[in-house]
Amino acid sequence: MDLVMFGPPGAGKGTQARRLVEAHKIPQLSTGAMMREERKSGSDLGARFDSYMSEGKLVPDKMVLELIEKRLRQDDAKGGAIFDGFPRTVPQAEALDIVLKSLGRKVDGVVVLDVPENEIVERITGRRVDAAGQEYHVRYNPPPPGVEVTQRADDNEETVKTRFRVYQEKTEPVLEYYKKSGTIVHLIEGTGSLDDITQRIQDALRG
């Protein structure tokens, strides 16, 4: 199964993708996480990603596609993948269709997490990450005592505003692309407990 997790920054794409990984035994392919890893490694490529990410702008399609194509050809992604934060532009969606077709696959569904904007801002500004990359939320999922956490560099208010604007301009049209191409789109209410949202997604996927 190849599934696209879709929604604005902070909608819970990463959180729910991690839960689907366990249930479906396919990897989560998060372009944002891959780019953060590359940045952490101190490579030149990571520094190029950083120049876009720290301002909340999209990394150019060509760079993203190189990253995802390489990852998709790894063994663990042979049976499908959960795409998190990708595709984010119509050209990325078109390119994904081409790569999947070359592998005899297609996007089987798009899960859209619907969360009101005020809740999203609270989620993003409250997000914290530990050294291993585990994510928490100061209010909804606080880190255990003694675990040191930091805030993602792009989770400040100004960058979040840019990320929203970019989402509306560049990413929302991707949904129209999928609807027009006849791909199944599951609109999921993205508020409530993590378990409730996971259940809604699983119910929708079972049809």
**Which residues would be at the binding site for ligand AP5 (CB under 6 A)?**
7, 9-15, 31-32, 35, 52-53, 56-59, 64, 85-86, 88, 92, 123-124, 127, 135, 137, 140-141, 154, 163, 194, 197
Closest CB to ligand AP5 among residues 65, 207: 65
Give the shortest CB-119-to-ligand AP5 separation in angstroms: 8
Minimum Å gap between C-beta 150 and ligand AP5 is 13
Closer to ligand AP5 by Cβ: residue 108 or 135: 135
Separation between Cα atoms, residue 121 and residue 164, nearest integer Å:
10
Q: Which is nearer to ligand AP5, 64 or 175 (CB)?
A: 64
Residue 26 contacts by C-beta under 8 Å, 6 or more apart in sequence?
A: 1, 76, 77, 79, 80, 81, 82
List helix spans (H) across the chain: 13-24, 31-40, 44-53, 61-72, 90-102, 117-126, 157-166, 172-180, 194-206
Dihedral, CA of residue 31, residue 171, residue 87 and residue 108, to nearest 10 = 130
Q: Rounded to the nearest whole angstrom, what is the least distance from the CB of residue 117 to ligand AP5 in the complex?
A: 13
- CB-nearer residue toward ligand AP5: 26 or 34: 34
Length of the chain: 207
Catalytic member of 19, 36, 39, 88:
88
163 is catalytic: yes
Active site residues: 13, 88, 127, 152, 163
